[in-house]
Chains A and B, each alone.
Chain A
Amino acid sequence: MNPALDRAWMLAVLLACLLVMAPPAHAGWWQGLFADREPLSVEVADPYIELHTGAGRGYPVFHVEERGAHIDILKRKTDWFKVRTARGKEGWVYRGQLERTLTPSGAQMHIAEATQKEFAFHRWEAGATGGDFEGADVMSIYGGYSLTPKFSVEVSLAKIFARFSSGESADVSLNIHPFPEWRFSPFFALGTGLIHSNPDTTLVQESDRTDQLAHVGLGLRVYLARRFIFRVQYKNYLIFQSTDDNQEINEWKAGFAVFF
């Protein structure tokens, strides 16, 4: 069998696995994307709750609701919640204060904040990195899905800017995180993909080319705060060129990511 075809099959199988393992999309999620949802009612449990005029700590407090009052939660922007009082006043309440309200069943309102514990095992991660690809500038975006705390699958797309040419690459990698609970968590990567290179037309007369590549890598993910991750990684690429001599590339990248 053709080795290129073999690799294409491997890619296809990996992608299929990714699709199967992804949780099914919530039915009709797109309906609620732009439309306002039905408000949720909570009871103020603190002595009082402060309503700000805008979604930020600097916006002035224009109204307070006392303990026992019922308020409707309308929407959320970052850590701020828009609420409506029984008398129809609308303002923004900080997450910390809203956590001290009671739900209709009498339980304390719980709003999860991303913590290091969630960093240890989160399903989705997306980020952007930049760095050096054997002397050329490289920028990439990636998305990852964790199957278990120690094992994740990642798809990354990169753009490479060399002096007289540019290129794009797409690859899938399997990452192993031996110590997911550490704040500085190392990982190992193994993957395969495609690289397309196109020389600058005004200078070099050479045609475009697409080659297969494989890589091994290692890196470090650092939990910063909230849902932020700083990430630094090294990858060693082997490009299977059509001219039969394989090219070896060293790549260093650093960047930021968020997890969900």
Chain B
Amino acid sequence: MESRICRIFLNGAWPLTALLCLTSVAAAAAPAEQVVRPEIERRDIHEADIDTEDFEIGAFFGAMNVEDFGTNPVYGLRLTYHVTENLFAEAAYGHSNTSETSFERLSGSAKLLSGDDRKLDYLNLSVGYSLLPGEAFIGSRYAFSSDFYLIAGAGGTRFAGEDNFTWNFGFGYKLLLNDWLAIRLDARDHVFSLDLLGDSQTNHNLEFTGGVSMFF
């Protein structure tokens, strides 16, 4: 009925019609007195109440080969942010003590590096892509989420008294023991150029590590 009246007036003075419609709607929606009040308190849900576990923090240990300076233990920490189910960003810090070159050992006395210069530290930011997410089975009772990923990034390496811009790339495998605990295996190549003997030389330094990480 109301809408029909509205339509009649539509072609004429429409502001007047709008006013008429408004008043009639307002009259219809007059508040009815609430007879029964609900006694239970309704707990509404906010997105922020859900526990989000997109961050992962972990420690790793393994072996790193530094070109000419031997293969030595390496250890470090990393922090990962999972942006989507496939894509993640990661910051990593690693430390290793390099050993003597063959030249230093054969010559006996000549030392290329001294003290702290022999220590290697790296810090990098990388982006990873989960290429083969899946499940791994142990017997017929247990299934674990797993993930094979590719990763690449850039950062800096402090070695031999120099800070060098470093590219890194590699791959890794992650096995989730439960929702928040994972074990990881990583293979990485760290590429930087070193000016140790005056001329710049590109070094490939391979690293293999295993680690444990927690989601939070």
Contacts and interface: CB of A to CB of B under 8 A. Distances in A.
Q: Number of contact residues on B: which range applies?
A: 35 or more
B5 interface: no
Interface stretch (B43-51, B67-75, B202-210): B43-51
Interface in B189-216: 195-196, 198, 200, 214-216
A228 B83 contact: yes
A105 B165 contact: no
Interface string B29-63: 00000000000001111010111111000000000
B156 interface: yes
A230 to B, nearest CB: 13
B179 A139 contact: no
7 contacts: A36-B51, A54-B145, A56-B145, A77-B54, A104-B44, A104-B45, A139-B154
B85 interface: yes
A1 interface: no
B85 A55 contact: yes
Contacts of B170: none
Contacts of A137: 165
Nearest to B49: A40
A53 interface: yes
Contacts of A78: 54, 82-85
B22 interface: no
Interface string A48-80: 000001111111000000000000011111111
B84 A200 contact: no
Contacts of A139: 125, 154-156, 165
Interface string A207-243: 0000000000000000000111000000000000000
Given A56-B133, A82-B179, A200-B195, A112 B47 contact: yes
B51 A105 contact: no
B162 interface: yes
A34 B155 CA distance: 29
B183 to A, nearest CB: 16
A93 B61 CA distance: 35
Interface string A23-51: 00000000011101100101000000000
Interface string A162-205: 01101000000000000000000000000000000010111100
B6 interface: no
Contacts of B44: 103-105, 107
Contacts of B117: 201-202
Nearest to B83: A258
A89 interface: no
A53 B135 contact: yes
Interface of B: 42-45, 47, 49-54, 81-86, 89, 117, 125, 127, 130, 133-135, 143, 145, 154-156, 160-165, 179-180, 195-196, 198, 200, 214-216
Contacts of B130: 56
B53 A76 contact: yes
B163 A161 contact: yes
B51 A37 contact: yes
A84 interface: no
A143 interface: no
A202 B160 CA distance: 8
B161 A201 contact: yes
Contacts of A202: 117, 160-162, 195-196
Given A54-B133, A107-B44, A159-B156, A32 B84 contact: no
Given A58-B133, A139-B154, A166 B163 contact: yes
Contact of B84 (A111, A141, A159, A226): A226
B125 A141 contact: yes
B51 A75 contact: yes
B15 to A, nearest CB: 32
A33 to B, nearest CB: 5
A12 B130 CA distance: 43
Given A130-B154, A159-B163, A110 B47 contact: yes
A145 interface: no
Given A53-B135, A54-B145, A139-B155, A161 B165 contact: yes
A75 B156 contact: no
A226 B82 CA distance: 13
Among A57, A104, A161, A166, max chain B CB count under 10 A is at: A161
